[in-house]
Amino acid sequence: MGFWRNQLSGPTDPAADAAWETSEPRKGFFTDTSICIGCKACEVACKEWNGVPEDGLDLLSQSYDNTGALGASTWRHVAFVEQTSDRIEQARESGRKLVSLGMPSVRSGDEPALAGGGGTATATLTDTLTDNPVPDVRWLMASDVCKHCTHAACLDVCPTGALFRTEFGTVVVQDDVCNGCGYCVAACPFGVIERRSGNEGHEKGPQSHGISIKGAGGAGDTAKGSHQNQPAHASSNGEVKNVGIAQKCTLCYDRLGAGQTPACAQACPTTSIKFGDLDEMRATARARVAQLHELGYPEARLYGVDEHDGVGGTGSTFLLLDEPEVYGLPPDPRVTTADLPDMFRKAGYAGLTMLAMAAAAFVGRRK
């Protein structure tokens, strides 16, 4: 079982596991949502560079976020949340709790020095720091993207081999191989990848929006018992390619190959999206969260930096200012294939049970 365990969960180097011989350092993002201004330049740059089709111009009438969610034609999504003081106080509380848990960034016993914080002890953070006054209102803006998981469920379950691990440790779909089985869509614990819908060629039919808004007409409506989104929006223009194919962020594989920065990171005017070697990104993230704690923002926390989490750490790391679910991120994702050996074992027992039942039916006197 050693092989399985290594391959399906826990810390590992995914590119090496995928048998890449060239040792490129693993690449990733650090998205610092504390300095995001919600300009959506990343969304636009991604669409422009990757030729991602338009996916609906409807207003969702819920917030300044009219993109809604990540999907087949939305590879960066800027979330927008407005909070008032009671919610902010709650976020601070959960942040303080997190700090006091003394959650280590590494499994070893020795305390890692807080970069930027000069080794401030946990106790200092919680006890003596004076927090900033809680404002009346705040806006959370966060640019979400594919996590390029260490253990990517989408890749594990893909039956055609269309999804693959690049030499940079990222996860990419080969759109000429994918046959649109949709398994990756159901497997991704972050709800990132999606099958593109619409009409091939000139767009006429409804397009994928990746959003289901319960109770709201239009975008969330389901047609004849189907659970797929049938967004109601004005007929728009533009070619739709790769209809029926699973699509998501490629971490700009083409640009990485040429030594370039991904389009979204390049376009971000505030450096909220940082791109680089994953080790560096994780270090930057740790330094930044320590700095924010020192400045009196205990609500700051990191997401995806710990390689002992349910997906073995993510390639896209985030600094959040509230619980992950507030941004539409799962609070404790776990790669579904971690349980796969056990699933197959249970299925094996069930198969034997089935045989036994059938055999039992033939036992006895021939009538």
d(CA 290, CA 118): 9
Q: Which residue lies nearer to ligand SF4 by CB, 91 or 265?
A: 265
Q: Do β-strands 316-320 and 27-32 pair in parallel, antiparallel, or remain unpaired?
A: parallel
Binding mask 62-81 for ligand SF4 (x = CB under 6 A): -------------xx-x---
Alpha-carbon gap, residue 196 to 53, rounded angstroms: 10
Buried b (16+ CB within 10 A) or exposed e, 11-43: ebebbeeeebeeeeebbbbbbbbbebebbbbbb
Q: Residue 79 in contact with residue 326, Cβ under 8 Å?
A: no
Does residue 263 bind ligand SF4 (CB under 6 A)? Answer: yes
Give DSSP secondary structure letters for 196-260. --S-SEE--S--------TT-SGGG--STT--S---------SEE-STTSEE-----HHHHHTTP
- How many whole angstroms separate alpha carbon 303 and alpha carbon 310? 12
272 contributes a contact to ligand SF4 by CB under 6 A: yes
Residue 40 binding result from another protein, ligand SF4, none, given CB thresholds of 5 to 8 Å by partner type: ligand SF4
Site for ligand SF4 (CB under 6 A): which residue of 8, 41, 72, 290? 41
Q: Which of residues 155-194 bind ligand SF4 (CB under 6 A)?
A: 171, 188, 190, 192-193
Residue 234 interacting entry, from another protein, ligand SF4, none, C-beta within 5 to 8 Å by type = none
Cβ-contact 49, 256 below 8 angstroms: no
Q: Compute the distance between CA of residue 124 and CA of residue 120 in angstroms, rounded to an integer.
A: 7
What are the residues whose beta carbons fall under 8 Å from the beta carbon of 297, sequence distance 6 or more? 34, 95, 131, 132, 321
The distance of closest approach from Cβ of residue 110 to another protein in the complex, given in angstroms and rounded to an integer, is 13
49 vs 190, beta carbon nearer another protein: 190
**From another protein, ligand SF4, none, interface partner of 113 (C-beta below 5 to 8 A by class):** none
Question: Smallest gap, in angstroms, from Cβ of residue 145 to ligand SF4?
Answer: 5
CB of 95 or CB of 333, closer to ligand SF4: 333
Nearer to another protein, 258 or 362 (CB): 362
Separation in Å, CA 364 to CA 158, 354, 355, 358: 45, 18, 16, 13
Q: Which does 245 bind (CB under 5 to 8 A by kind): ligand SF4, another protein, none?
A: another protein
Query: Which stretch, 5-13, 61-69, 111-119, 144-152, contacts ligand SF4 (CB under 6 A)?
Result: 144-152
Please report whether residue 246 would count as binding ligand SF4 according to CB under 6 A. Answer: no
Interface pick for ligand SF4 out of 268, 285, 302, 329 (rule CB under 6 A) = 268
Residue 191's nearest CA partner among 174, 208, 216 is 208
The partner in contact with residue 248, picked from another protein, ligand SF4, none with C-beta cut-offs of 5 to 8 angstroms by kind, is: ligand SF4
Q: Which does 244 bind (CB under 5 to 8 A by kind): ligand SF4, another protein, none?
A: another protein
Could you tell me if 267 and 45 are in contact, meaning their C-beta atoms sit under 8 angstroms apart? yes
Q: How far is the CB of 28 from ligand SF4 (least distance, A)?
A: 10
Residues in the site for ligand SF4, rule: CB under 6 A? 36-42, 45-46, 49-50, 75-76, 78, 141, 143, 145-149, 152-154, 171, 188, 190, 192-193, 248-252, 262-264, 267-270, 272-273
